[in-house]
Amino acid sequence: MRLKLILLIVLFMSLLSFNDLRSQMAELRGIVTGNGAAIPYANIFFEGTGKGTSSNEDGVYHIHRIVPGSYKIRTSVIGYLPFSQKIVFGQNESKILNIELIPNSEQLEETVVTGTLKAVSRSESPVPVEVYSPTFLKKNPTPSIFEALQNVNGVRPQINCNVCNTGDIHINGLEGPYTLVLIDGMPIVSGLGTVYGLSGIPNSLIAQIEIVKGPASSLYGSEAVGGLINIITKSSAEAPVSFADGFLSDWGEYNLDVGAKIMLGKKVDLLLGINYFNFDTPIDNNGDNFTDLTLQHRISLFQKWNFRRNKNRIFSLAGRYFYEDRWGGELQWTPEYRGGDEIYGESIYTRRWEILGKYELPINEKVLFSFSYNDHNQNSVYGDIPYIADQRIGFGQLTWDKTIKSHDILLGSALRYNFYNDNTTATIEADEVIIPSLFVQDEMKLANGHSLLLGLRYDYDKRHGSIYTPRSAYRWKISDNDILRLNAGTGFRVVNLFTEEHASLTGAREVIVTEELKPERSFNINLNFLKKIYSDNGTFIEFDASVFYTHFNNIILPDYDTNPNQIIYDNLDGKSISQGISA
């Protein structure tokens, strides 16, 4: 009895202390503007801490529960110069700080990493990189990034199955398998996972989307033949303390993103996000007794751990779990008919988990180790034909960033592990391969406003032998707001027939490979001109135009017609060309 009394007293005193501590906390609020207009989604944070938030659609921000003391507040957003100011808080003090940002009239100062694997301002990158901020996603609300990209010039999300609604992304008219999708620079989205990689990441945790049009195989290897899309998630300083975003369409779709930033001590913080999407109302406007829109039920859990280290060295870990149930077919179909032939339906159950991270080595040189791993399980039926597949992809990469006089050098090595297995007659045994790689890149400053980038990559695939992919990029900065870029390079793609053609391989046809398939190869040249025209009040018009030419050979095509009992694969004897103008 006496022990219980003591515990109650201790608990009561702890609550009093906690409430007293909370009552001493300070808060800061205000509005972020530029040229008299509110600036939404600006990042406001205290330097050297994990404390911060972002402004809402009206430019308003609020940081609460601030420990009394002295801080340096910083504010940043694309298109404006960064703002910083010292500020002191007393106990239980509430302050108002309205922040006026100055438009960045220098040039295009968004920081990009995708073009060269180095963090540089967009204007200084020799490779043209398009950048899309969270504002773009807010102004074009969609259930997933996959659908939001339909508003990007030269990028086309394409639905390949009208019943199950799976698809891929085309860049400059090239087929979906030629587009590489990255998350924080890691190639964890490919093969079976392509349609799911751009779903389930809460928009509020996305810092920006970077798009490169044209081959990038010299840095990223296979699949980056037509271009790549890199989804970059926020750091703890940029992320809001908490958020909740909802989306509802008149079709009956609803999407919910919720999340928070959680401090776990002084050196560790956690970004947590949950995405939920549901559409369960069958619609048949054309009266054909088939669903017009695939029904979906999806939940995704995303988390990112950031660790503060000496000398601001990088160490982060991120993970995601994804589950989805989607189906389409005759309106009378229910899960009881799954896998049968009485009522036609296509049903896909997907379970997927991913982990990725970055660790900067504790040495004087700038050496970064990046890694990722994902496991994808797909249980699907097309009518009464089952397709059950497992895919695992592991990736590790070590890069050394070194500047020697006018040479900005990047050396790297990578190792990729692919595993694939399914229940079809095409897969007699599991496909398992390890691909080691080496690459080097040198960006040279030739003269004022002129730079040249040269790069070369070597990959070894036991199925194809040695593969070399060179590239070059020239940048001429005509003025602060006029930039001309010329890029040329080669790309390659090691084709996994089964992950890309699984819908046709679920039957009883025999798969025939007529000869040892060569990797698909491409050569691309791209001329890009970028100009910003500023008005007196700081607003601007951006003009971005490109002329591109891509030459393909060794394209692998399936032949379904020669023998109705076979699918015959062979390299195309000839060439294919994709060319055009984008503006």
Mean pLDDT to the nearest integer, 482-510: 66
CA distance 532 to 524: 26
**The pLDDT of residue 400 is above 90:** yes
- Phi, psi at 582, each rounded to 5°: -125, 135
pLDDT for residue 495: 61
CB 481 within 8 A of CB 506: no
Least confident among 195-204, 326-335, 349-358:
195-204
What is the model's pLDDT at position 173? 73
Amino acid occupying residue 126? P
Q: How do strand 227-233 and strand 179-183 relate by DSSP bridges?
A: parallel
Domains detected in the chain = 2-100 (2.60.40.10), 111-227 (2.170.130.10), 228-582 (2.40.170.20)
Model confidence at 323: pLDDT above 90: yes
Lowest mean pLDDT across 128-142, 380-394, 406-420: 128-142
User: What's the pLDDT band for 19 if we cut at 50, 70, 90?
Assistant: very low
On whether the CB atoms of residues 454 and 441 are closer than 8 A, the answer is yes
Which pLDDT value is given to residue 387? Answer: 85
Query: Rounded to two decimals, what is the model's pTM?
Result: 0.75
Most confident listed range (64-68, 259-263, 414-418, 420-424): 414-418
Widest Cα–Cα separation across the chain: 90
User: Tokens at residue 409, please?
Assistant: 């050098």
> For the residues 80-97, what does the mean pLDDT come to?
88
Across 78-107, average pLDDT: 82
Work out the pLDDT band at 582, boundaries 50, 70, 90.
confident
Give the pLDDT band (50/70/90) at residue 107. Answer: very low
The residue-averaged pLDDT of 456-479 equals: 88
Whether the predicted pLDDT of 503 surpasses 60? no
Alpha-carbon distances of 291 from 144, 163, 295, 347, rounded to whole Å: 21, 7, 8, 13
> Comparing 8 with 140, which gets the higher pLDDT?
140
Instruction: Find where tokens 């079809």 sit.
Output: 424
Average of per-residue pLDDT values in the chain: 80
Measured from the Cβ of residue 124, the count of other Cβ atoms closer than 10 Å reads 18
Q: How far apart are CA 390 and CA 352, in angstroms?
A: 10
Bigger pLDDT: 580 or 390?
A: 390
Burial of 202 (C-beta count, 10 Å sphere; 0-12/13-18/19+) = buried
pLDDT for the residue numbered 123? 74
% of the chain beyond a pLDDT of 90: 19
Cα separation of the two ends of the chain = 80
Among 60-64, 488-492, 554-558, name the most confident range. Answer: 60-64
Give me 334's structure tokens. 């229910």
Residues 142-165: tens digit of each pLDDT? 777 777 787 787 787 777 666 666
